[in-house]
Structure 1
Amino acid sequence: MKHILKSFAVFALAISLTNCGEKKETDAYGNPVEEKTETTTETTVDPLFAKGQELFEGKGTCTACHKPDTKVIGPSIKEIAKIYKEKDASIAAFINEEGEPIVDPTQYETMKTNFAITKAMTAEERKALEVYMMSFE
């Protein structure tokens, strides 16, 4: 009887030790299933770009006259970015009235009404607007 109890104790110990190990999941056919690990892809956004977008769509009131692909009152953002890149010019300087109108000079008088808004911005905010707009080319 002692021998049976010892065998039973050894068997119970062996079962408990094997069950405490790493448990692998299996599919309906008994094949091991690999653990799925969640991966998150973090995209970092340039803080100037984000700030520029916020200003463009918000207090800068730029969306009233400028759309990404379409000329509304003023030229499209893509057209502005393309021309400023070709001429190696600064949008930030223009909206601070430190540069000449180079995209559509006929709209300059209309744009001048917004210089009160853009000139009240900090240099960093004007640069942020430029970074955002130049991303469209």
Structure 2
Amino acid sequence: MKKYILIALITTFVSCKKETEENYGQPKQDNTAIVISGQELFEGKGTCNACHLPDQKVIGPSIAEIAKIYKEKKGSIISFLKEESEPIVDPSQYEVMKTNFAITKLMSNEELKALEDYIYTFSK
């Protein structure tokens, strides 16, 4: 019986964590968030690679073409993905792209920025 009480006391003592003065009164940071790359979004959650390849047109324009045109025209890929601006690369494919806005509109601003940054890596 004494062993069980001793184990319980040790477990309680070890599991208690003292707040340091530097953290006192500050909200705790949530380190469970995972930073995701634009490429991971492009190929995963965004399913963009189903229609866009790096250097050739498939269903939609290539990533390189998108990056080039948005850079030249100083457009906002993020605004387009939020469906807040008109298409500037290939307006004829806009109806096809509309189905994907359901995905991109649910992305956070950080995710959209990562996606935009990834696309711009293909500009020359």
- Normalised TM-score (structure 1): 0.63
Any residues of structure 2 matched to 1:105-116 within 5 Å, and which?
105-116=91-102
Q: How many residues align?
A: 90
Structure 2 unaligned residues grouped into runs of 5+: 1-34
| Residue 100 (structure 2) pairs with residue 133 (structure 1) | no
In the alignment, the residues of structure 1 paired with residue 106 and residue 76 of structure 2 have an alpha-carbon distance, to the nearest angstrom, of 18
Larger radius of gyration: 1
Which digits, 9 at most, give the CA deviation of each residue in 1:7-36, with x for residues without a partner?
xxxxxxxxxxxxxxxxxxxxxxxxxxxxxx
Gaps of 5+ in 1: 1-47
Q: What is the root-mean-square deviation in Å for CA atoms of aligned residues?
A: 1.5
Per-residue deviation, 1:64: 0.2
Match in the other structure for 2:30: none
Q: Which runs of 4+ in 1 moved over 3 A?
A: none
Distance in 1 between residues matched to 2:122 and 2:88, nearest whole Å: 17
Q: Secondary structure at the match of 2:82?
A: coil
> Which secondary structure does the structure 1 equivalent of 2:122 belong to?
coil
Q: Distance in 2 between matches of 1:78 and 1:51?
A: 18
Deviations 1:54-92 (A, max 9, x none): 100101000000000000000000000000000001111
Equivalent-residue separation in structure 2 for 1:97 and 1:132 (angstroms): 19
Partners of 2:50 and 2:92 lie apart in 1 by 17
**Residue 85 (structure 2) pairs with residue 99 (structure 1):** yes
Percent identical across equivalent pairs?
72
What is aligned with 1:67?
53
2:106 corresponds, among 115, 120, 134, to 120
Matching residue of 1:56: 42
SS of residue paired to 2:37: helix
Query: What is the SS of the residue equivalent to 2:83?
Result: coil
